[in-house]
Amino acid sequence: MRVLVQRVTEARVDVAGHTVGATGPGLMLLVCAMQGDDAAVAARMAGRVARLRIFRDDQGRMNRSLLDTGGSALVVSQFTLAADTRSGNRPGFSAAAAPDEGRALYHAFAQALADLGVAVQTGRFGADMQVTLTNDGPVTIWMDSAERG
């Protein structure tokens, strides 16, 4: 599973001109289920994201997590995080999970995050979405479940 984590002051996702999800201070999370992922991977990644210490403490250091701050999260599916750009000019997406599996794992990730006590809103899987955000810092972190032992 791949997750692009962005610390935000605010973010929202619109579908057909209507806001379907939004967050105030917290995280904007773009999530891509990969082939071979399962619910355990989704839960593990949700835990890692929730405990990622990227929020400022009283000394201004990145030393607090989403759980520490009580911030919220906007979780948006983004299969293009599976892009393979090693050859040619058109990215390939064959490493992404199949749509039905990807949908289930996306929802499992969002639910696992909520189960940890994070207020979660989501985009709409498979929809043409417009995402607006104010990146705080900016802080953007790339996480990939395949890169952790």
Q: Any idea which residues carry the catalytic annotation?
A: 78-80
Contact between residue 118 and residue 33 where contact means Cβ atoms under 8 Å apart? no
Contact between residue 29 and residue 140 where contact means Cβ atoms under 8 Å apart? no
Quickly tell me which residue has 């610390």 as its tokens.
7
Query: What DSSP assignment string belongs to 29-41?
Result: EEEE-BTT--HHH
What is the identity of the amino acid at 81? L
b (16+ CB within 10 A) / e for 127-137: eebebebeebe
